[in-house]
């Protein structure tokens, strides 16, 4: 079978090769093993942290954990499916997916479910869906395709930079209307990918300026966003201020208490006490619960798994990809997956303001897990194609 890349380079897959192909286990096994460990870690963490949420919704923790496991199975299945679909085929649909995500983002702004003062999800037939997850992966893959197609004129302002800025600006703005933190992280990811794609540093700098102005505008339109920033400043700089002492930084305080209680080895699985005080301990602050129950050892192991995924995704998969498109997509998927996890941990540790970003395969939820599985599946497919290429060259 012959596939064509955006720069018209061809790639041939021999279906009659003796090497086992089309299986996720023919891909990067270290990457796959890390993901499986994360999933197991996530089930234990959700079970420990979701008791209060279950009581508030007239159900049991076991029922919610079972639902979480079902979502993990679906995400794992999606990961296996995308590991078998050539990543070039996925790239071909990035533009359609991005435009579709814009439609969903507009709909969610008007008719989405309001949670904690923000509309981030749509409910269809009992299922909740966050369009920002689709928009994030669609924009990054589309940006990769766009840069490969225009690599001969990558520094051209009109032909390359302006179209890229338009795609990024529209997407970040639509996400930022209701989800400021996701828009900010997506902008950072796009800037990194533009730098990797060898776009002009001056042009990237101008996009940084435009992005900062846009984020400041979105920040000025929400008192809740402003309070998160001021609370963070109180937490880091003015720790003794009366406003902070009165509870404006309640979330951060409770997360710090949980981490402090954990010590080196933790208080034990299921023995967290801060889960009853932390808001959303099963999602936004799940890392604090992990640190409390498993201590520095368990929390450090979790971060180590994300670092291993970062290393394998960039140093192994992206570096050895079959073509430039594979390299860029591998970097985009790896950075997105790992950055979300590290930002979630940084929020719990007080390094960042409260963002609401989930920890991939750890936090309770469905949409994030689904698209995390998709990104890892694409990574596995890219690593497998390099191996196939080497096998064809030797034959």
Q: Is the pLDDT reported for residue 220 higher than 50? A: yes
132 near 112, Cβ under 8 Å? Answer: no
Quickly state the pLDDT bin for 10 (edges 50, 70, 90): very low
Name the helix (H) or strand (E) containing 57.
none
Distance of CA 210 to the CA centre of its chain: 23
Give the pLDDT score at 8: 46
* 225-236 average pLDDT score: 63
* 217-241 average pLDDT score: 63
Give the pLDDT score at 224: 65
**What percent of the chain shows pLDDT beyond 70?**
79
Mean pLDDT of the chain: 81
At 2, is the secondary structure helix, strand, or coil? strand
> What gap in Å lies between CA 40 and CA 310, rounded to an integer?
19
**Phi and psi dihedrals of 128, rounded to 5?**
-100, 140
Give the pLDDT score at 155: 87
Give the pLDDT score at 378: 95
Distance of CA 77 to the CA centre of its chain: 18
341 near 283, Cβ under 8 Å? Answer: no
> What gap in Å lies between CA 185 and CA 329, rounded to an integer?
17
Quickly state the pLDDT bin for 192 (edges 50, 70, 90): very high
Domain locations along the chain:
2-394
At 120, is the secondary structure helix, strand, or coil? strand
Range name among 8-12, 172-176, 256-260 with the lowest pLDDT average: 8-12
Segment 241-295, tens digit of pLDDT:
444 444 556 777 788 888 888 888 888 888 888 887 877 788 888 999 999 999 9
87 near 382, Cβ under 8 Å? Answer: yes
Range name among 28-42, 79-93, 232-246, 281-295 with the lowest pLDDT average: 232-246
Range name among 36-50, 66-80, 239-253 with the lowest pLDDT average: 239-253
At 322, is the secondary structure helix, strand, or coil? coil
308 near 34, Cβ under 8 Å? Answer: yes
> What gap in Å lies between CA 387 and CA 287, rounded to an integer?
36
* 51-65 average pLDDT score: 75
More confident site: 26 or 360: 360
> What gap in Å lies between CA 350 and CA 353, rounded to an integer?
7
357 near 345, Cβ under 8 Å? Answer: no
Angle at CA of residue 196, ends 195 and 200, nearest 5°: 35
Output b/e per residue, 74-90; b: 16+ Cβ within 10 A. Answer: ebbebbbebbbebbbeb
Give the pLDDT score at 352: 80
Highest-scoring range by mean pLDDT, 196-210, 253-267, 292-306:
292-306
Quickly state the pLDDT bin for 368 (edges 50, 70, 90): confident
State pTM to two decimals.
0.84
**What percent of the chain shows pLDDT beyond 90?**
39
Give the pLDDT score at 248: 52
Segment 309-339, tens digit of pLDDT:
999 999 999 999 989 999 999 999 999 999 9
Bridge partners, 123 (sequence order): 128
Q: Is the pLDDT reported for residue 236 higher than 70? A: no
Q: Give the tokens for residue 239.
A: 């720790």
* 365-371 average pLDDT score: 84
101 near 138, Cβ under 8 Å? Answer: yes
Output b/e per residue, 322-358; b: 16+ Cβ within 10 A. Answer: bbbbbbbbbbbbbbbbbbbbbbbbebbbbebbbbbbb
Highest-scoring range by mean pLDDT, 134-148, 213-227, 233-247:
134-148
Give the pLDDT score at 63: 83
> What gap in Å lies between CA 332 and CA 335, rounded to an integer?
5
At 121, is the secondary structure helix, strand, or coil? strand
Phi-psi region of 124 (alpha: psi -120 to 50; beta: other; left: phi over 0): beta
Beta-strand pair 127-129/118-124: antiparallel
Choose among 300, 280, 299, 290: nearest CA to 356: 280
Give the pLDDT score at 271: 84
């Amino acid at each position: 079978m012959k596939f064509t890349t955006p720069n018209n380079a061809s790639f041939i897959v021999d279906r009659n090769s003796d090497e086992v192909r089309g299986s996720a286990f023919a891909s990067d096994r270290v990457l796959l093993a890390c993901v499986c460990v994360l999933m197991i870690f996530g089930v234990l963490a959700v079970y420990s942290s979701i008791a209060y949420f279950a009581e508030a919704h007239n159900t049991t923790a076991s029922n919610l954990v079972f639902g979480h496991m079902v979502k993990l199975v679906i995400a794992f299945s999606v990961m296996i499916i995308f590991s078998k679909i050539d990543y070039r085929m996925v790239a071909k649909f990035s533009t359609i997916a991005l435009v579709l995500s814009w439609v969903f983002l507009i709909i969610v702004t008007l008719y989405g479910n309001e949670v904690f003062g923000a509309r981030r999800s749509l409910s269809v037939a009992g299922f909740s869906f966050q369009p920002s997850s689709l928009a994030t992966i669609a924009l990054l893959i589309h940006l990769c395709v766009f840069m490969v197609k225009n690599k001969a004129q990558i520094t051209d302002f009109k032909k390359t930079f302006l179209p890229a800025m338009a795609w990024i600006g529209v997407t970040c703005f639509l996400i930022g209307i209701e989800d400021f933190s996701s828009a900010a992280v997506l902008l950072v990811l796009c800037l990194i990918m533009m730098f990797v794609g060898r776009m002009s540093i001056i042009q990237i700098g101008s996009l940084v300026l435009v992005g900062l102005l846009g984020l400041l505008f979105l920040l000025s339109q929400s008192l809740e966003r402003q309070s998160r920033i001021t609370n963070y400043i109180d937490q880091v700089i003015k720790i003794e201020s009366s406003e902070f002492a009165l509870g404006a930084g309640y979330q951060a305080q409770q997360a710090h208490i949980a981490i402090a209680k954990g010590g080196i080895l933790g208080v034990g699985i299921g023995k967290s006490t801060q889960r009853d005080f932390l808001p959303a301990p099963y999602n936004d602050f799940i890392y604090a619960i992990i640190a409390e129950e498993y201590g520095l050892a368990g929390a450090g192991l979790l971060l180590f798994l994300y670092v291993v995924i970062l290393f394998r995704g960039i140093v192994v998969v992206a570096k050895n990809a079959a073509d430039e498109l594979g390299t860029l997509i591998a970097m985009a998927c790896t950075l997105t997956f790992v950055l979300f996890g590290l930002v979630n941990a940084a929020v719990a540790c007080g390094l960042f303001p409260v963002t609401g970003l989930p920890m991939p395969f750890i936090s309770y939820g469905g949409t994030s897990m689904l698209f995390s599985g998709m990104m890892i599946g694409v990574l596995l497919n890219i690593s497998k194609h390099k191996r196939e290429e080497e096998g064809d060259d030797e034959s």
